[in-house]
Amino acid sequence: MRNYWLRKILAVPLILLVASFLIFWAVRLLPGDPARLMAGMQADQKVVDSVRSRLGLDKPFAIQYEIFLRNLLHGDLGTSIRSHKPVAEEIAERFPYTLALTTVSFALAVAVGTTAGVFAAIYSGRVLDHLVMVTAISGASIANFWLALLAMNLFAVRLAWVPLLGANSWKSYILPSITLALLPSAVIARMCRASMLDIIHQDYIRTARAKGLSTAKVYINHALRNALIPIVTIVGMNFASLLGGAVITETVFNWPGLGRLMVDAVRYRDYATIQGITLLTVAIVIAVNFAVDVFIGLVDPRIRFD
């Protein structure tokens, strides 16, 4: 068991190193010149060259990456070209909003998706099962931004039940969280249904029923518990995807999170901000995957000693 956790922990620095290189390289493939954007489109070439030198963009790629790594090890993500503020400070200001929205959406997706999937498996082949599957497929097919615009027009503009934009009260979470949770809840429902169907036809489930256990105990204590491994895996992956999906949702709803910050950074070719947000997202994905591995290892002893 100790070797299992040790391998997982030792792999994290290597993954982060490779990810940091790919992010640093990919950002510099973006079209446009940040020095030109910062100096102004009508600025003289000497001014642009001066700005490029000040930003360190005139140095060879290897030296730029070495400086980036050295600063990163000291917790310095660089300075934003757009706002002239430290990137770490900007991320610290925006991240709580994204984390709060993602957490609410994630909880909603898990609750709705798991419940729908369990009931669809229990009533497999019946009207409820078909209704859940049609809804899940529809939810997975609808574009987030289109649903967001429809919801805003109906519930915020016409009915005035919730705020239209911003994050000023708890009501501001309703539309963005539902919009963001639609796709993962559909995926979780389908996975939960498939996993439950594989379990409820096993012999030990029939034995549990023959012993006189209640239907609720059979499905919750025996079927659902043994179907958790694929469900937990897909749930962990969906939490990571919610952080990425928040970019579109935050932009539509004018949410003051990392998504909007990323859009603005891409528009201004703000290399440091793009690198900081992307690297943070990668670190969160790694942490979530590690937590899923730990949970699965605790649930299934066979995996721990593999």
Give the residue carrying structure tokens 């360190």: 56
**260 & 165 share domain:** yes
**183 & 150 share domain:** yes
The pLDDT of 24-31, averaged and rounded, is 83
- The b-or-e profile of 121-145 (16+ CB within 10 A means b, else e) is bbeeeeeebeebbebbeebeeeebe
**59 & 163 share domain:** no
Length of the chain: 306
Average pLDDT, the chain: 80
**117 & 161 share domain:** yes
**126 & 66 share domain:** no
Give φ, ψ of 112 to 5 degrees: -70, -45
Dump pLDDT digits (tens) for 7-27: 777 888 888 888 889 988 888
C-alpha to C-alpha distance for 271 and 275, rounded to whole angstroms: 6
The pLDDT of 257-283, averaged and rounded, is 85
Contact 94, 250 (CB under 8 A): no
Domain residue limits at 297: 94-304
Q: What is the per-residue pLDDT for 244?
A: 64
**173 & 286 share domain:** yes
Question: Residue 87: inside a domain, yes or no?
Answer: no
**61 & 206 share domain:** no
Q: What is the per-residue pLDDT for 302?
A: 58
The pLDDT of 114-127, averaged and rounded, is 84
Number of domains in the chain: 2
Question: Residue 204: inside a domain, yes or no?
Answer: yes
Model confidence band, residue 4 (pLDDT cutoffs 50, 70, 90): low
**Does the pLDDT at position 72 exceed 80?**
yes
Question: Residue 131: inside a domain, yes or no?
Answer: yes
Dihedral sign for Cα 210, 216, 222, 227, please. Answer: positive
The pLDDT of 89-109, averaged and rounded, is 88
Model confidence band, residue 85 (pLDDT cutoffs 50, 70, 90): confident
The pLDDT of 186-205, averaged and rounded, is 80
Question: Which CATH number covers residue 196?
Answer: 1.10.3720.10
C-alpha to C-alpha distance for 27 and 261, rounded to whole angstroms: 15
Contact 50, 59 (CB under 8 A): no
Give φ, ψ of 219 to 5 degrees: -75, -35
Q: What is the pTM of this model?
A: 0.78
**163 & 40 share domain:** no
Q: What is the per-residue pLDDT for 305?
A: 47
**55 & 169 share domain:** no
The pLDDT of 265-291, averaged and rounded, is 84
**144 & 69 share domain:** no
Instruction: Write out the two tokens for 192.
Output: 């939960």
Model confidence band, residue 300 (pLDDT cutoffs 50, 70, 90): low
